[in-house]
Every structure is written in C-alpha cells, then in structure tokens.
Amino acid sequence: MTMENISANRSFGGWQRQYNHYSETLGCSMRFAVYLPPQVEQGEHGEPGIKVPVLYWLSGLTCTDENFMQKAGAHRIAAELGVAIVAPDTSPRGDGVPDDAEGAYDFGLGAGFYVNATEEPWAKHYRMYDYIVNELPQLVQQEFPVTDRWSISGHSMGGHGALMIGLKNPQQFCSVSAFSPICNPMQAPWGQKAFANYLGDDREAWRQYDSCELIKIAKSVPPILVDQGSDDQFLTEQLQPEKLVRAVASSGLNFELRIQPGYDHSYYFIGSFIEEHMRFHASHLNK
C-alpha cells in the first residue's frame, strides 16, 4: 500500500501529517491524519527514536480527519505522553461513491457509521468497519514507528464507532473512550436511518453494530470511559446514554459513564476533557 503525504505541520515537538492512500477495502482513495509525538525522532545527540502506542480517533457526522486534529487540543498531551494519534475520515469519498439522494448530512458522505454495508448501492464502498479494524491499522503499522498497543476513541457517530469496535474486538484495543456517543443506534433516528439503508431490514444484522446489544453478550471488555454533556442538544432523541447505563448495570462489566454538567455537543466539550481521556488511554497503553 502506497501513501502520498499531502501536508505536514510541526506541533509540540512532533509532526501532524495528512496522507492519501488507495483503500482496497473501500474501493476508493482515502485520507487520514496522524500525529507523531517527538519521542519517535532521533535525539539531538544521536539517541534513537522509539516506537509509540496509538490512539485511533473516530469523528462524527459531517466531519473529516481534520476536525479533531485542529480543534481538540490533543497534540500537547500526546507529545507529553508519547502517544501517536491516527484520525481517519468518516466515510469513503469520491466521484464514484454514492451519497444520500437528497444531500442529507446524516447519511452517505461523511456518515459511514463504521459498519460494513450489505445493501446496494452502498455495499461496494461503505465498509468502514473493516477499514478501521483491519486495513488502516495494518497500513499504520507498516509505515510508522508505532507499537502494537492500540486504543480507540471518538465523538457522537464516532463515539458509537469506538464503543462498538472496542466491544467487538476486546483483544485488539487496550482501552476505549467516547464523547457523546450514539449509545443505542437501533433506537435512535440517526442510527435507524443509517442501519436501514446500509444493512437492510434485518434487525439481527443491526444488533452486531449496537453497543447496548453488544454489551449484553460481552464476556469481557477493555476499560471504557464515556463522557456526556448534560446540555447536549441531541441528548434525549439521538444519544440516549441512560440505555447504555442500564445495559452496563445488567452486565457487571468495567465501564464508567460521566455526565458533565452544562456541556453541549461541541468541540468545546471535547477540548475540556481530552486530557483526561488521553491520560486514561496512556495508563492502559503503557501497562
């Protein structure tokens, strides 16, 4: 797999870079961003750089790889902790990739929902689950000075993706966190629209991508941290954290969900707590 470096910016002693590569999984060109902390570089006196663990970040509806990297303020703490960050796009893109016929923001381009679509015309390109779990990590391991210690986090639709992927792959990720996740997409308008179009009418197929359903059958999970703002405009209709609380309570698994008073759905919320999430992940990545 070949990559094209399309941007590079020095940040807190490390490097923020963007790359294009052709994805065999998605059948199109994909862009992702990576922050490499200063620990990977050779020291000024010739000390060798080291390999570092990786945090994968999944963004929400309408976002790209750029939103988190530019707005969250994570580089400073990643540089201190010696953790790389990889931020993929939220869906396949390109002239041949289908989009919502009405141009809606909550489906199609920018809204891959981190599932493997089985319905046409989406099945050819919308396979974000396989891309995040398999293809992208393989490329990152091949091209960058990183270890095989990975964690995953995300926001909103990306929070759904992080929780779901972490629950389905507990041996692959050392820890999981989420900001404002869509907790029970089978019962939320955003999730119902996406699942019906990508996966068809079989609700058993939907269960494979719903965190509340996955918790019910989980035998073990990585350590999980979830933050939710009490003043989030999508709290009641779309996010439904109370359903996640009930699912966790019945499972007895290791899980912390915090309601943060006064915070909304924005990157101001993410920026306020990203350091705590980064330290949470580092504590497990470095064990």
For residue 219, the model assigns a pLDDT of: 85
Which of these is catalytic: 59, 156, 177, 180?
A: 156
At 85, phi and psi to the nearest 5?
-125, 130
Which of these is catalytic: 125, 160, 265, 281?
A: 265
Which of these is catalytic: 125, 232, 277, 281?
A: 232
For residue 45, the model assigns a pLDDT of: 65
180 is catalytic: no
Q: Output the tens digit of pLDDT for each of the chain's 287 residues.
A: 689 999 999 999 999 999 999 999 999 999 999 999 999 987 666 677 899 999 999 999 999 999 999 999 999 999 999 999 999 999 999 989 999 989 999 999 999 999 999 999 999 999 999 999 999 999 999 999 999 999 999 999 999 999 999 999 999 999 999 999 999 999 999 999 999 999 999 999 999 999 999 998 888 889 999 999 999 999 999 999 999 999 988 777 778 999 999 999 999 999 999 999 999 999 999 98
Q: pTM of this prediction?
A: 0.96
265 is catalytic: yes
For residue 284, the model assigns a pLDDT of: 97
Q: How far apart are CA 196 and CA 100, in angstroms?
A: 13
Give the neighbor-by-neighbor strand order of the sheet with 84-88.
Answer: 3-11, 14-23, 28-36, 84-88, 52-58, 146-155, 176-179, 224-229, 256-260
**Local structure of 98: helix, strand or coil:** coil
91 is catalytic: no
For residue 220, the model assigns a pLDDT of: 85
- The domain segmentation of the chain, as residue ranges, is 3-285
CATH homologous superfamily of domain 3-285?
A: Alpha/Beta hydrolase fold, catalytic domain (3.40.50.1820)
For residue 279, the model assigns a pLDDT of: 98
